[in-house]
Chains A and B, each alone.
Chain A
Amino acid sequence: MGSGTAVAPEPRRPRSKASPEAALIEVKDLTKVYGEGESTVHALRGVSLSVYHGEFVAIMGPSGSGKSTFMHLLGCLDRPTSGSYRLGGQEVSGLTRDQLAAIRSRQIGFVFQSFNLLSRTSALENVELPMLYAGIPLKERVDRSRVLLEQVGLGQRMDHRPNELSGGQQQRVAIARALANGAPFLMADEPTGNLDSASSEEIMTLFRHLNKDKGITVIVVTHAQDIASWAERIVTFRDGLIIDDRRARRTEASS
């Protein structure tokens, strides 16, 4: 890494008094109900799940299974109707919008299917974005962004704009952005849905690297079996409930 002064932030460990074995994510009896009266939809009907530091989890299920709703709740983008969600030891199910924004800022890194990079904005500035909201000073923002882009293999393309990058490269910018504030876990929603198989493999390899070498917890939501097979643990949803939760047999040679 070229820059001597800047160091990419290490993933945050929970500061609670919890023992090292305490779960990063601890969900109990989570429900989510949309609408009222006859149009009521029970998207989640009581889900319990624990995810530990350093796990690589795939969440699967057909559309309408509740996996997207569950992902939104895990990502602190939405609040459950009932149940408990502890993230890093902190109960977050009852927080306000702005408090949830603060949690997202520091604890969660999002990777989206459609990358969601700001157009006409350089890769470097895209990576800076979360740090703007976290109030990081300019110099540190730029230094960190450079280190992160080098980590994802885009050290030579920092000034490129999204339309000057391939899909795989754009998704790597998005991953660098997700890591900007040192979040302990990455939440990826169909991260390879818009990519060809070669790029998909690159991205999944990058996730595995971040998981194995940096200790970052990765949760990937997907409906593709071959993507899920990169994970160590596959959680399957159907009709708003977890119907399967198992350790996967590694199908790929570890990189």
Chain B
Amino acid sequence: MEFLSYLINGISMGSIYAIIALGYTMVYGIAKMLNFAHGDVIMVGGYVSFYATSYATAQLLGEDPSAMAVGMATLVSVLLAMLVCTVLGVIIEGLAYRPLRQAGSLAVLITAIGVSYFLQNAAQLLFGANPKNFTPVVGGQLTFFDGQLRISYVALLTVVACVVIMVGLTVFTGQSKMGKAMRACSEDKGAAQLMGINVNRTISMTFAIGSALAAIAGVLLCSYSPVLKPTTGSMPGIKAFTAAVFGGIGSIPGAFLGGLLLGIIEAIAQAYISTQLSNAILFAVLIVVLLVKPSGLLGKYVPEKV
């Protein structure tokens, strides 16, 4: 029973990693760059949702709001967070990464790290360094076996959201016109351009989708561990990046699988081995996987063209 609850914990945490990893993997797959600022977009999403909910609670909802009104306020705050993050993602791409399209990948990587610190420090300046106490988007839990097994609604919501997003993205990239344009850009930007595809717009679109996902991940993450501070996004961001590499970066099902496995390994390691060592164990597993399968679990091995 204990094991089951750890497992469920791991799956729901893993789902959050998976949603973040989907953002990493899409941007990497199409723009061929690592957007290390992705984790901090999560934090921004969390803050936007936090302030929107606080404002609604303080100003709009009365003394004793109905469940319906609270639900609506939460939904609107999540949508607002998605909107702000989408715009932020497109702005970051346009200002910081687009001018470097022809530059080496190292220059882009360093810029991404710079953007990451910029966002963290800007958040500290705007929102203060003191942690905020985030109210989970949904409260309550299901209990089984006389209270021995508890599953919070947040955990359920996270898993459902993750599956829906994964399926939606797979269908979108596989069957829609924009999705196909993204795959074309991922394979050969020059040829795509000569076929009339606007590569810059396609990459912006990718950032928009990735950042909207980051906002959802931010809200879920803060509902899960309700402490919100400017560095909230950085560790989950790095772990989700690990998850994306673990599953095979560039692959959507890979990011999903990698995220879930990472969450489960982390939860089991924390429960049975050591809380302090859980991260070390996580990264050790990553190293082993990459030694055996350098392209990740579901990644494709791409031979270097000579």
A binds B: no
